[in-house]
Amino acid sequence: MEAASGKMMDQAGEVADSLRMIRDSAAALVPRGDLRRVRALRFSAPGFNRAAWRQICALGWPGLSLPESAGGSGLGMRALVALAEELGVGLVPEPLIPAAMAARVLTDPPLAALLKGESIVIPAWQEHPNNLAMDDETIVEGDRITGKKLFIPMAGGADLFLVSARGGLGLVARDAPGAMLALERTQDGGFFGTLTLDRAPATPIPGNLSRALEEATLATAAYLLGVMGRAFAITLDYLRTRVQFGRPIGAFQALRHRAADLKIQLELSRASIESAAATLDSGAPLPLCRVAVSRAKARASDAALLITRQAIQLHGGIGYTDEHDIGLFLRKAMVLANLYGSAALHRARYAALAAEDDDG
């Protein structure tokens, strides 16, 4: 028993070391406090930098959670969650989460090209607003695919789209005949795409996006954790340095109580996300994974909007100016809170799945 306990402690130590290295490497690429690159990329298609994307691929991040047999690092969801949080701290716009989602179901040669940074593959799966259901109306027939996909994140930088449909998955080139992409700006300076397909040529891809969608949803919750965590840290610094009536405003009891409440929401979100990552890494059945992911995403979406909005208010008038960085965090939270399902959708899904479990 002692030997088994020692082995478990060694494994836990190895995991902690790996997560620390991931956070350190992310922090080196994403210096805290310097958002000039993010500001420069806002509202200019595709909304991110391909050179930065190639650097991300060189670090192996799109394959972080993939097994080594598939060309990944085999570090699981806890590693991807840790990385996504650090990227949220720096508001990194590059499409790591959708690319990692695509990598989960692709095989070579498109998988190898994605992992090397030679091509960007973005999943296109959503057909209705605020709905996690896939494959409703889009149809794949042989090597042709017809349908319409909405809310595709960072679609302007995609070389290929991984499209879900009733007949399976299809890989469609952005410039394929019969494929039309329309871009719409988002609050954070990025772009969502609408992809219309009229018998566009597609390469059939085996499998489905079900588990990959849960992983992308959880990674988005972790990114939101980074967003709210950094916004909270910036606000604490402001409360310590802004002086009124001869005292730092953070010394006033009412503001200290508000900050304490926000800290509680932040840590509850962290605990829920880490618990969900452990559930996914354990190989739990998909329904149990969905329960854990919905709980984490609902909490993260609500907490991120609460904390970033409160951060604006606690900064006073300066927080409402675009020149102050704190507003960038609220804009990002407003976009990601609904991506991969809003808090209301995930609460409803959690309730439905929990009821099914009780009936079982």
Mean pLDDT of 337-343: 96
Q: What is the pLDDT of residue 176?
A: 97
Contact predicate 175/168, CB 8 Å: no
Where does residue 59 rank: exposed (0-12), middle (13-18), buried (19+ CB within 10 A)? middle
- Cα-Cα-Cα-Cα torsion 173, 60, 339, 198, nearest 10 degrees, comes to 10
Pairing relationship of beta strands 160-165 and 168-173 according to DSSP bridges: antiparallel
Q: Does 85 score more than 80 pLDDT?
A: yes
Q: Residue 294's closest CA among 282, 283, 305, 286?
A: 286
Q: What is the pLDDT of residue 120?
A: 98
Q: Of 73-87, 134-148, 317-331, which range is least confident?
A: 134-148
Q: H/E element holding 92?
A: none
Q: What is the pTM of this model?
A: 0.93
Region 262-284: mean pLDDT is: 97
β-strand 160-165 against 121-124: which pairing, if any? parallel
The structural domains of the chain, ordered by start, are: 2-115 (1.10.540.10), 121-205 (2.40.110.10), 210-359 (1.20.140.10)
CB 157 within 8 A of CB 95: yes
Residue-wise pLDDT tens digits, 45-61: 999 999 999 999 999 99
* pLDDT over threshold 60, residue 1: no
